[in-house]
């Protein structure tokens, strides 16, 4: 198992290295330049000034050389300076990462619990009214566009009922504390979860139905096991095997896909940060942000494989 | 070369397996030797049964004869030649699972005519005519040609599979457990059909089965396989009346008999079939053999005629 | 039923003299799109304590469904009629909780495919131990110890190591032995075995059959052994019932059935088996196939395939009649 993890982490690092070069190149291909903002706000500069400025920032050198500078610095822990926010990258990313983690973490947990609950409940009596209701909710979740849902929730709960704040991360002026920030997370978490819940519920339901048809379930009943024991001890772990794999893979995409939600709810998370950085030609920030997203996906894949092997003794990792 | 084929009265073989080995590489550098050195011949019109339990390699051997697996070592020669397209047409196969071996999307007429299409035999009209002939020869009505596999029972599907195998006028049919998925009362119908076709067309069969009773009915010669090798080979009557190898004896002992009262204890041999990945040293059967001696652990016996039985062969140091 | 004591735990005096299992006029039907599927059409049989009943028949005859009915495991959309009495108690009247106390303890069942009968993610020892946790209230560790002992009883070498293994690590024969150990864990009075050796190699099948006979000697349990293989049934059973299309067509002791089979179907089945002592050019066959279980058919359901059938056979269903010898047959044209 340890050898497996080490090998996969090694592979992940190689992927990251390649990705860093590719992303760097792609951002570089985009029109515009980190200096554009400065040039726009300083109309008095001459062409000579601009050339000098480029030389100072090293922007006149070929891309590969610039990439190399970046790489060597990054490997020593210096991720550079964010031009858009005029702060070191780490100082910008820190709070964004924290906010996203809160949002993602809660959304993931919420998705997990609700999907499993719904999926199992629906599978126990296929075709029943409960099953049909759950299926309907699932399809709704899959079909609704995220931004529309966000708007709807804001309208109902913030504007109309006034129960929850419409956007933002905490009460302005600070002093809100932990529970206050939780209030601001409710609507974004629901928005993010709903789209995921649809898919995962149906997947869980299908997997459970398939599992309950297996011969070993019949054996468990023949031994005198009651329905609760049959579901929790015998069926669930088998049914979860494919579900966990999908869950882990979803996790990676949860991260970067939350852009719309973050924007709608004014959450200054990683999604918004990367978006702003790319549009602003902020090489350093965009690069680090995107690489982080890739890293998360890679780690999620590794975790999926491990989870799969842990749950199913027939799979060996060698 | 097989000892048994050297008898002067025997017709020349149309199929020869010479030191055939089929191995599959696995993860981690291991090798699965499914067939570990087999010499066998098959004459025109002869039914050779290949008998054995799980892991003995009989299915792999059958598939290799049909051309599905290339030999890892040794050769398979049909009319003296290895490979070639004549063998692909002239050696056809019937599979164990009548439900899985027919394409559910093709109507029966096309299922039967497909081998002709693949080998480019006949025009479309001729192929249709041939399908008509064949479906009747296997005892099904002509209107079956327009129906689909799911509309037929297991036994009927096996008949269709036989018709398909007959389409390109093969010389050899490899039948891999053709009866095991069928009900008992249907098995005898299919056996009779196969026997009748053999008579009328001079077909040779390589009949692979674990069912010794069915083998007894249809086979001319029987080869018993264990862990990738042949351990006994002989004429049907001789093998059943006086089995020479302890494994054959155990197999015959194990067959449940009718009307003899409750089973007597102690007749079954102990132990499981070892994994083909880790065959025991010396004679592969020695851990389970009631006659095993020191030499059996050390030296693998070769297939040879036991004393006084020139038409028979067994791979045992203590063959009867 | 509100009794605190399980009425089946202490057999009454009556149970000591009545047969262990009495099945009376059992019928099982399922609604389908094409009509009512009658899997079992009114069958009756008995098993005495310590005896083995063989149930012979081909696909669609209802033999497996009958076993499921005794276990109370018929799928919920099926309608079960008739009576099943186990140790004097009518099982139809049992609530689900009481039935569960029976299953796995007093009545145990093993199925055909050992590959899929065991849960792939739970170690074998725990699956066997579960029976004792459920019915004897043992702790998991105590149950595991008992499981090792049971694995030893069924002839598995290195039982402690095998108990920690997962099912995919055992061979087919060992898996079936483990399944048998699991069935025995509750000390059953009746073991129902549905084609337990069909998926096994013939030498392993012989081992398992001998094991079952030995275990029966030791525990005194009764066995209901279901199979399509006449040979296997012959070597195990005291009495045999032959089923066809949902009905019992013949019932006799094993000796009588093979010495003088009376029903044409039984005779046909015996005749179609290739015999190792004889050489025939053409095997006798039973033409045609098993009838569609959906829908009824007037008269005997074997008539279309029967060499002796006449007009009378197609009008009325022959009842199961018992001759002086105790041999029963449902046929108007049974051989004398």
Is pLDDT of C13 > 50? Answer: no
* C120 reaches A (C-beta below 8 A): yes
Between chains, do B255 and C276 touch, taking CB under 8 Å as contact?
yes
Between chains, do B261 and C254 touch, taking CB under 8 Å as contact?
yes
Residue A222: list chain C partners with CB under 8 A. 71, 73, 103-104, 108-109, 111
Interface of C with B in 151-180 (CB under 8 A): 171-174
Confidence of residue C4 (pLDDT cuts 50, 70, 90): very low
Confidence of residue A68 (pLDDT cuts 50, 70, 90): confident
Whether residue A167 is found in the same domain as residue A204: yes
Confidence of residue C131 (pLDDT cuts 50, 70, 90): very high
Chains that touch A (3 or more CB pairs under 8 A): C
Q: What is the pLDDT of residue B10?
A: 61
Query: Burial, B48: exposed, middle or buried (Cβ in 10 Å; 0-12, 13-18, 19+)?
Result: buried
Whether residue A167 is found in the same domain as residue A285: yes
* B258 reaches C (C-beta below 8 A): yes
Whether residue A187 is found in the same domain as residue A57: no
Confidence of residue C293 (pLDDT cuts 50, 70, 90): confident
Q: How far apart are CA C139 and CA C160, in angstroms?
A: 17
Is pLDDT of B295 > 70? Answer: yes
Q: How far is Cα of residue B145 from the mean position of the Cα atoms in its chain?
A: 29
At residue B1, the 3 state secondary structure works out as coil
> Domain for residue A221, yes or no?
yes
Q: Torsion angle of alpha carbons C238, C244, C248, C250, nearest 10°?
A: -60
Nearest to C119 among A224, A226, A234 (CB): A234
Q: What is the pLDDT of residue C121?
A: 93
* Strand pairing report for C321-322 and C89-90: unpaired
| Alpha-carbon distances, residue C23 vs A83, C63, C139, C240 (angstroms) | 86, 13, 36, 14
At residue A129, the 3 state secondary structure works out as helix
> Domain for residue A45, yes or no?
yes
* B261 reaches C (C-beta below 8 A): yes
**Residue of B154, B163, B176, B67 whose CA lies nearest to B110:** B163
Q: What is the pLDDT of residue A295?
A: 83
Confidence of residue A34 (pLDDT cuts 50, 70, 90): low
Least confident span in A103-117, B144-158, B201-215, B261-275? B261-275
* Residue that is last in its domain, among A33, A62, A87: A87
* C224 reaches A (C-beta below 8 A): no
For residue A313, give how far its alpha carbon lies from the nearest alpha carbon of chain C (Å): 6
Q: What is the pLDDT of residue C1?
A: 31
Is pLDDT of A232 > 60? Answer: yes
Tokens of A300: 């999620």
Query: Burial, C160: exposed, middle or buried (Cβ in 10 Å; 0-12, 13-18, 19+)?
Result: middle
Tokens of C68: 């499921």
Is pLDDT of B4 > 60? Answer: no
Whether residue A119 is found in the same domain as residue A234: yes
Is pLDDT of C281 > 50? Answer: yes
**CB of A262 within 8 A of CB of A272?**
yes
Parent domain of A22: 2-87
Q: What is the CATH number of the domain that holds A275?
A: 1.10.3720.10
Between chains, do C171 and B273 touch, taking CB under 8 Å as contact?
yes
Is pLDDT of C10 > 60? Answer: no
> Domain for residue A317, yes or no?
no
* Residue that is last in its domain, among A87, A117, A140: A87
Is pLDDT of B6 > 60? Answer: no
For residue B81, give how far its alpha carbon lies from the nearest alpha carbon of chain C (Å): 35
Whether residue A265 is found in the same domain as residue A301: yes
Query: Burial, A61: exposed, middle or buried (Cβ in 10 Å; 0-12, 13-18, 19+)?
Result: middle
Least confident span in A207-221, B33-47, B261-275? B261-275
Tokens of C63: 């033999």
Q: What is the pLDDT of residue A31?
A: 73
Region C83-98 average pLDDT: 89
> Domain for residue A307, yes or no?
yes
Q: What is the pLDDT of residue C182?
A: 94
Q: What Rg value do the Cα atoms of chain A yield, rounded?
A: 24
At residue B49, the 3 state secondary structure works out as strand
pLDDT mean across residues, chain A: 83
Between chains, do B270 and C276 touch, taking CB under 8 Å as contact?
no
Q: How far apart are CA B191 and CA C290, in angstroms?
A: 18
Nearest to A226 among C100, C109, C111 (CB): C100
Testing the interface with B: which of C274, C284, C292 to mutate, by most B Cβ within 10 A?
C274
Residue B270: list chain C partners with CB under 8 A. 207
* B318 reaches C (C-beta below 8 A): no
For residue C162, give how far its alpha carbon lies from the nearest alpha carbon of chain A (Å): 15
For residue B117, give how far its alpha carbon lies from the nearest alpha carbon of chain C (Å): 32
Place of tokens 């100072």: A56
Whether residue A80 is found in the same domain as residue A155: no
Q: Which helix (H) or strand (E) holds B209?
A: strand B204-209
- Comparing alpha-carbon positions, the chain C residue that sits nearest to B193 is C282
Whether residue A177 is found in the same domain as residue A231: yes
Least confident span in A126-130, B5-9, B205-209? B5-9
Between chains, do B273 and C59 touch, taking CB under 8 Å as contact?
no
Q: What is the pLDDT of residue C279?
A: 66
* Residue that is last in its domain, among A63, A87, A111: A87
Sign of the alpha-carbon torsion through C249, C252, C258, C262:
negative
CB atoms within 10 A of CB B121: 16
Is pLDDT of B1 > 60? Answer: no
Place of tokens 């966990």: A244
Q: What is the pLDDT of residue B27?
A: 78
Whether residue A287 is found in the same domain as residue A268: yes
Is pLDDT of A36 > 90? Answer: no
Between chains, do C113 and A215 touch, taking CB under 8 Å as contact?
yes
* B278 reaches C (C-beta below 8 A): no
Between chains, do A221 and C101 touch, taking CB under 8 Å as contact?
no
Residue A125: list chain C partners with CB under 8 A. none
Q: How far apart are CA A149 and CA A142, in angstroms?
A: 11
Q: How far apart are CA C276 and CA B248, in angstroms?
A: 14
Whether residue A215 is found in the same domain as residue A83: no
pLDDT mean across residues, chain B: 88
* C116 reaches A (C-beta below 8 A): yes
Sign of the alpha-carbon torsion through C112, C116, C118, C123:
positive
**pLDDT tens for residues B147-203?**
999 999 888 999 999 999 999 999 999 999 998 888 887 888 898 899 899 889 889
Residue B273: list chain C partners with CB under 8 A. 171, 201, 203
Tokens of C223: 């066995």
Question: What distance, in Å, lies between the first and last C-alpha atoms of chain C?
Answer: 49
Between chains, do A216 and C118 touch, taking CB under 8 Å as contact?
yes
Q: What is the ipTM of this complex?
A: 0.84
Is pLDDT of A54 > 80? Answer: no
Nearest to B268 among C59, C203, C284 (CB): C203
Whether residue A38 is found in the same domain as residue A126: no
Is pLDDT of C199 > 90? Answer: no
**Residue of C70, C34, C37, C71 whose CA lies nearest to C246:** C37
Chains that touch C (3 or more CB pairs under 8 A): A, B
Nearest to A223 among C116, C134, C168 (CB): C134
Q: How far apart are CA A37 and CA B44, in angstroms?
A: 89
Tokens of B212: 């010794």
Q: C243-282: b or e for each residue (b if 16 or more CB lie within 10 Å)?
A: bbbbbbbbbbebebbbeebbbbbbbbbbbbbbebeeeeee
> Domain for residue A216, yes or no?
yes
Testing the interface with B: which of C52, C216, C235 to mutate, by most B Cβ within 10 A?
C235
| Interface contacts A/C by beta carbons within 8 Å | 72
> Domain for residue A225, yes or no?
yes
For residue A208, give how far its alpha carbon lies from the nearest alpha carbon of chain C (Å): 14
Region C49-64 average pLDDT: 91
Between chains, do C100 and A311 touch, taking CB under 8 Å as contact?
no
Nearest to A223 among C104, C113, C122 (CB): C104
In chain B, pLDDT over 70 holds for what percent of residues? Answer: 97
| Alpha-carbon distances, residue C200 vs A188, A245, B180, C113 (angstroms) | 58, 34, 12, 9
Tokens of B2: 């097989």
Between chains, do B272 and C270 touch, taking CB under 8 Å as contact?
no
Whether residue A167 is found in the same domain as residue A63: no
Write the CB contacts of C140 (distance below 8 Å, at least 6 apart in sequence).
C126, C129, C133
- Residue C222's DSSP bridge partners are C190
Give one word for A73, left, alpha or beta, with left for phi > 0 and alpha for psi -120 to 50: alpha
* pTM (predicted TM-score): 0.82
Confidence of residue B7 (pLDDT cuts 50, 70, 90): very low
Between chains, do B251 and C203 touch, taking CB under 8 Å as contact?
yes
Q: What is the pLDDT of residue B232?
A: 95
Confidence of residue C299 (pLDDT cuts 50, 70, 90): confident
A120 versus A260: the higher-pLDDT residue is A120
Between chains, do A222 and C103 touch, taking CB under 8 Å as contact?
yes
**Residue of C70, C71, C61, C58 whose CA lies nearest to C227:** C58
Q: How far apart are CA B71 and CA B82, in angstroms?
A: 10
Place of tokens 């036991």: B306
Is pLDDT of B98 > 70? Answer: yes
Confidence of residue C127 (pLDDT cuts 50, 70, 90): very high
Nearest to C59 among B183, B237, B258 (CB): B183
Per residue, the 3-state secondary structure of chain C, as one string, reads CCCCCCCCCCCCHHHHHCCCEEEEEEEEEEEECCEEEEEEEEEEEEECCCCEEEEECCCCCCHHHHHHHHHCCCCCCCEEEEEEEECCEEHHHCCHHHHHHHECCCEEEECCCHHHHCCCCCCHHHHHHHHHHHHHCCCHHHHHHHHHHHHHHCCCCCHHHHHHCCHHHCCHHHHHHHHHHHHHCCCCCEEEEECCCCCCCHHHHHHHHHHHHHHHHHHCCEEEEEECCHHHHHHHCCEEEEEECCEEEEEEEHHHHHHCCCCHHHHHHHHHCCCCCCCCCCCCCCCCCCCCCECCCCCCCCHHHCCCCCHHHHCCCCCCEECCCCCEECCCCCCC
C287 versus C7: the higher-pLDDT residue is C287
**pLDDT tens for residues B238-256?**
999 999 999 999 998 888 8
Q: In what order do the strands lie in the sheet with B204-209?
A: B91-94, B172-176, B204-209, B47-51, B221-226, B229-235, B313-314
Question: CA A35, A41, A42 angle in degrees (round to 5)?
Answer: 85
* C284 reaches B (C-beta below 8 A): yes
Region C73-80 average pLDDT: 89
**CB of C66 within 8 A of CB of C244?**
no
**Residue of B237, B232, B202, B235 whose CA lies nearest to B316:** B232
**CB of B31 within 8 A of CB of B25?**
yes
How many separate helices (H) and strands (E) can be counted in chain B?
Answer: 10, 11
> Domain for residue A316, yes or no?
no
> Domain for residue A63, yes or no?
yes
Least confident span in A5-19, A47-61, B57-71, C140-154? A47-61
Residue B252: list chain C partners with CB under 8 A. 276
Residue C286: list chain B partners with CB under 8 A. 185, 188
Residue C134: list chain A partners with CB under 8 A. 223-225, 229
Chains that touch B (3 or more CB pairs under 8 A): C
Q: How far is Cα of residue B218 from the mean position of the Cα atoms in its chain?
A: 12
Place of tokens 């095998």: C162
Between chains, do A224 and C102 touch, taking CB under 8 Å as contact?
yes
Interface of A with C (CB under 8 A): 214-216, 218-226, 229, 233-234, 237-238, 311-314
Tokens of A201: 């519920």
Between chains, do A234 and C113 touch, taking CB under 8 Å as contact?
no
**pLDDT tens for residues A149-205?**
888 888 888 888 888 887 777 766 666 667 777 788 888 888 888 878 888 999 999
Testing the interface with C: which of B210, B268, B270, B273 to mutate, by most C Cβ within 10 A?
B268
* Strand pairing report for B172-176 and B73-78: unpaired
Testing the interface with B: which of C174, C199, C202 to mutate, by most B Cβ within 10 A?
C202
Write the CB contacts of B240 (distance below 8 Å, at least 6 apart in sequence).
B212, B216, B222, B252, C276
Q: What is the pLDDT of residue A48?
A: 82
C261 versus B307: the higher-pLDDT residue is C261
Q: What are phi and psi of C279, to 5 degrees?
A: -125, 120
Q: How far apart are CA A125 and CA A128, in angstroms?
A: 6
Q: How far apart are CA B39 and CA B19, in angstroms?
A: 5
**CB of A18 within 8 A of CB of A33?**
no
Testing the interface with B: which of C56, C176, C201, C252 to mutate, by most B Cβ within 10 A?
C201
A179 versus B89: the higher-pLDDT residue is B89
Count of domains forming chain A: 2
C239 versus B217: the higher-pLDDT residue is C239
Confidence of residue C5 (pLDDT cuts 50, 70, 90): very low
Whether residue A136 is found in the same domain as residue A265: yes
Confidence of residue C278 (pLDDT cuts 50, 70, 90): low
- Comparing alpha-carbon positions, the chain C residue that sits nearest to B275 is C171
């Amino acid at each position: 198992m340890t050898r497996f993890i080490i090998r996969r982490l090694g592979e992940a690092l190689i992927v990251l290295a390649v990705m860093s070069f590719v992303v760097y190149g792609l951002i570089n291909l985009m029109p515009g330049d980190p200096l554009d903002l400065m040039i726009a706000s300083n109309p008095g500069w001459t062409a000579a000034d601009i050339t000098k400025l480029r030389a100072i920032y090293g922007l006149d050198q070929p891309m590969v050389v610039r990439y190399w500078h970046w790489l060597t610095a990054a490997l020593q822990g210096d991720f550079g300076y964010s031009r858009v926010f005029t702060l070191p990258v780490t100082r910008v990313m820190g709070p964004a990462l924290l906010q996203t983690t809160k949002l993602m973490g809660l959304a993931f947990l919420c998705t997990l619990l609700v999907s499993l609950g719904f999926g199992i409940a629906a599978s126990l009596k296929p075709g029943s009214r409960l099953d049909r209701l759950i299926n309907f909710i699932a399809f709704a979740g899959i079909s609704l566009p995220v931004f529309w849902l966000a708007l709807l929730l804001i309208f109902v709960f913030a504007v109309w009922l006034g129960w929850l704040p419409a956007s933002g991360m905490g009460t302005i002026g600070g002093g809100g504390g932990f529970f206050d920030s939780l209030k601001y997370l409710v609507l974004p978490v629901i928005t993010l979860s709903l789209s995921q819940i649809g898919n995962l519920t149906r997947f869980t339901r299908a997997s459970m139905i398939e599992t309950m048809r297996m011969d070993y379930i019949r054996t468990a009943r023949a031994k005198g096991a009651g329905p609760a024991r049959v579901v929790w001890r015998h069926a669930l772990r088998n049914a979860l095997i494919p579900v966990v794999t999908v869950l882990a893979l979803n996790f990676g995409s949860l991260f970067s896909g939350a852009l719309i939600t973050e924007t709608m709810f004014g959450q200054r998370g990683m999604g918004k940060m990367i978006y702003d950085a790319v549009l602003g030609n902020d090489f350093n920030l965009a690069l680090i942000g995107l690489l982080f997203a890739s890293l998360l996906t890679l780690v999620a894949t590794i975790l999926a494989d491990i989870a799969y092997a842990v749950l199913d003794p027939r799979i060996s990792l060698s | 070369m097989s000892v048994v084929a050297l008898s002067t009265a025997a017709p020349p073989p149309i199929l020869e397996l010479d030191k055939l080995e089929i191995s599959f590489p696995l993860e981690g550098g291991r090798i699965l030797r499914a067939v570990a050195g087999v010499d066998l011949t098959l004459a025109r019109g002869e039914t050779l049964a290949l008998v054995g339990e799980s892991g003995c390699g009989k299915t792999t051997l059958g598939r290799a004869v049909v051309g599905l697996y290339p030999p890892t070592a040794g050769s398979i020669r049909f009319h003296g030649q290895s490979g070639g397209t004549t063998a692909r047409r002239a050696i056809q196969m019937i599979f164990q699972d009548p439900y899985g071996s027919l394409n559910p999307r093709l109507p029966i007429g096309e299922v039967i005519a497909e081998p002709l299409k693949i080998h480019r035999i006949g025009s479309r009209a001729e192929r249709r005519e041939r399908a008509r002939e064949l479906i009747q020869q296997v005892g099904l009505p002509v209107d079956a040609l327009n129906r689909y596999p799911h509309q037929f029972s297991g036994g009927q599907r096996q008949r269709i599979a036989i018709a398909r195998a007959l389409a390109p006028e093969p010389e050899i049919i490899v039948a891999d457990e053709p009866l095991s998925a069928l009900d008992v009362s249907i098995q005898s119908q299919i056996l009779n059909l196969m026997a009748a076709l053999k008579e009328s067309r001079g077909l040779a069969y390589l009949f692979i089965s674990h069912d010794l009773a069915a083998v007894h009915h249809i086979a001319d010669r029987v080869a018993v396989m264990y862990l990738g090798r042949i351990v006994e080979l002989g004429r049907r009557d001789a093998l059943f009346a006086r089995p020479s190898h302890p494994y054959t004896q155990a197999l015959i002992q194990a067959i449940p008999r009718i009307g003899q009262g409750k089973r007597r204890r102690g007749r079954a041999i102990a132990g499981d079939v070892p994994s083909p990945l880790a065959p025991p040293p010396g004679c592969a059967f020695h851990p389970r053999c009631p006659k095993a001696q020191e030499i059996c652990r050390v030296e693998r016996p070769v297939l040879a005629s036991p004393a006084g039985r020139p038409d028979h062969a067994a791979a045992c140091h203590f063959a009867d | 039923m509100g009794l605190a004591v399980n009425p089946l735990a202490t057999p009454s005096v009556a149970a000591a003299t009545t047969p262990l299992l009495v099945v009376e006029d059992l019928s099982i039907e399922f609604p389908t799109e094409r009509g009512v599927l009658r899997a079992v059409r009114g069958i009756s049989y008995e098993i005495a304590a310590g005896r083995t009943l063989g149930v012979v028949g081909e696909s669609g005859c209802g033999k497996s469904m009958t076993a499921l009915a005794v276990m109370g495991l018929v799928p919920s959309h099926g309608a079960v009629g008739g009576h099943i009495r186990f140790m004097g108690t009518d099982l139809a009247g049992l609530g689900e909780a009481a039935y569960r106390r029976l299953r796995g303890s007093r009545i145990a069942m093993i199925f055909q495919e050992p590959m899929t009968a065991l849960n792939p993610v739970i170690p074998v020892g725990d699956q066997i131990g579960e029976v004792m946790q459920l019915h004897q209230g043992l702790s998991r560790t105590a149950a595991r110890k008992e499981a090792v002992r049971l694995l030893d009883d069924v002839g598995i070498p290195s039982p402690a190591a095998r108990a920690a293994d997962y099912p995919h690590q055992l061979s087919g024969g060992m898996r079936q032995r483990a399944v048998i150990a699991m069935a025995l864990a509750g000390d059953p009075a009746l073991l129902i075995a549905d084609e337990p050796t069909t998926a096994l190699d013939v030498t392993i099948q012989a081992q398992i059959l001998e094991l079952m006979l030995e275990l029966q000697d030791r525990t005194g349990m009764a066995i209901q052994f279901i199979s399509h293989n006449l040979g296997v049934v012959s070597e195990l059973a005291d009495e045999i019932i032959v089923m066809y299309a949902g009905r019992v067509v013949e019932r006799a002791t094993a000796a009588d059935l093979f010495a003088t089979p009376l029903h044409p179907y039984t005779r046909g089945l015996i005749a179609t088996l290739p015999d190792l002592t004889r050489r025939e050019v053409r095997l006798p066959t039973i033409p045609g196939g098993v009838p569609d279980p959906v829908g009824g058919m007037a008269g005997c359901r074997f008539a279309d395939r029967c060499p002796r059938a006449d007009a009378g056979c197609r009008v009325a269903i022959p009842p199961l009649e018992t001759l002086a010898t105790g041999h029963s047959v449902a046929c108007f044209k049974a051989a004398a």
